[in-house]
Structure 1
Amino acid sequence: MVKKHGKKQRAKKRQDRTGAAYSSAAAGTTHTHTPLPDLSALPLVPHGSWRVLDLDLAARLVAACRAGCQPCQQTLITKMVKEKRATLAALAGAVYGTLPTVGFVASEATRQWAPLARTAMQAGTGEEAFAAVDAMDEAAATALLNDALDHWAMGDGPVLAEAVRKVAEGASRRGTADPMDAFREAGMKVFTLDDLDLGDVDTYHLAPNYGVTLMKTTTPDDQPMPMLVLYPETENAGIEDLEARTDWEHWGLHGMPDMDPHWRVRARIADRSLQGLVHVGPDGEDDIELWRAAETVSLPEHWWDLLDRAQHVLVAGPVKETDHQALQAAGDAGELLAVIARVSFH
Structure 2
Amino acid sequence: MVKKHGKKQRAKKKAQRTGAAYSSAAAGTTHTHTPLPDLSALPLVPHGSWRVLDLDLAARLVAACRARCQPCQQTLITKVVKEDRATLAALAGAVYGALPAVGVAASDPTRQWAPVARTAMQAGKGDEAFAAVDAMDEAAAAALLNDALDHWAMGDVSVLADAVRTAAEAPQRRRPADPMDAFRKAGIKVFTLDDLDLPDGVDPYHLAPNYGVTLMKTDTPDGQAMPMLVLYPETEGAGIEDLEARTDWEHWGLHGMPDRDPRWRVRARIADRSLQGLVHVGPDGEDGIELWRAAETVSLPEHWWDLLDRVQHVLVAGPVKTPEDPGALQAAGDAGELLAVVASVSFV
State the TM-score, normalizing by the size of structure 1: 0.51
**Gaps in structure 2 of 5+ consecutive residues:** 175-222, 224-308, 315-348
Instruction: Tell me the equivalent position of 1:99.
Output: 99
* Letter in structure 2 aligned against 1:95: V
Q: Residue type matched to 2:173 in 1?
A: G
Aligned equivalents of 1:64, 1:121: Cα separation in 2: 26
CA distance in 1 between partners of 2:84 and 2:37 (Å): 19
Q: What amino acid is the match of 2:108?
A: E
The AA in structure 2 aligned to 1:175 is R
Query: Paired residue for 1:38?
Result: 38
* Paired residues of 1:65 and 1:153 also in contact (CA < 8 A): yes
Question: Cα deviations across residues 50-99 of structure 1 (Å, max 9, x unaligned)?
Answer: 11101111101100101111111000000000001000000000000011
- Paired with 2:311 and 2:92, the residues of 1 have a C-alpha distance of 23
* Matched letter for residue 96 of structure 1: Y
- Unmatched segments (≥5 aa) in structure 1: 177-202, 204-278, 285-346
2: distance between equivalents of 1:175 and 1:44?
A: 17
CA–CA distance in structure 2, aligned partners of residues 126 and 32 of structure 1: 31
The answer for the alignment partner of 1:68 in structure 2 is 68
The residue that corresponds to 1:116 in the other structure is: 116
Aligned twin of 2:173: 175
Q: How far did residue 281 of structure 1 move?
A: 4.0
- Cα deviation code 1:176-202 (max 9, x no counterpart): 7xxxxxxxxxxxxxxxxxxxxxxxxxx
Aligned residue in 2 for 1:154: 154
**What residue identity is the alignment partner of 1:8?**
K
What are the residue-to-residue correspondences of 1:180-329 with 2, within 5 Å? 280-282=310-312
Kept in 2, the 8 Å contact 1:66–1:155? The answer is no
**Map of 1:58 onto structure 2:** 58
Cα offset for 1:6? 1.3
Q: 1:12 to 1:126 in 2, by over 3 A?
A: same
Q: Which residue of 1 aligns with 2:140?
A: 140
Supply the AA of the counterpart residue of 1:119: T
Residue aligned with 1:39, SS: coil
User: Identity of aligned pairs, percent?
Assistant: 82
RMSD of Structure 2 on Structure 1 (CA):
1.9
Q: Which residue of 2 aligns with 1:88?
A: 88
Cα displacement (A) at 1:132 = 0.3
Moved more, 88-97 or 28-37: 28-37
CA change 1:162–1:282 in 2 (3 A) is: farther
Contact 1:81 1:142 in 2 (8 A): yes
Structure-1 separation of matches of 2:77 and 2:154: 17
TM-score w.r.t. structure 2 length?
Answer: 0.50
Counterpart of 2:344 in structure 1 is: none
Residue 166 in structure 1 maps to residue 149 in structure 2? no
Deviation for aligned residue 1:9: 1.4
1:20–1:53 distance in 2 versus 1, CA, 3 Å: same
Aligned residue in 2 for 1:128: 128
**Cα–Cα, structure 1 residues 150 and 280, in superposed 2: closer, same or farther, change >3 Å?**
farther
Q: Distance in 1 between matches of 2:173 and 2:8?
A: 51
Q: CA deviation at 1:2?
A: 1.9
- Give the whole-Å Cα distance in 2 for the aligned partners of 1:120 and 1:3: 51
Name the CA distance, whole Å, in 2 between partners of 1:77 and 1:282. Answer: 36
CA distance in 2, matches of 1:51, 1:169: 20
Hey, what's the Cα distance between the residues in 2 that align with 1:21 and 1:146? Answer: 20
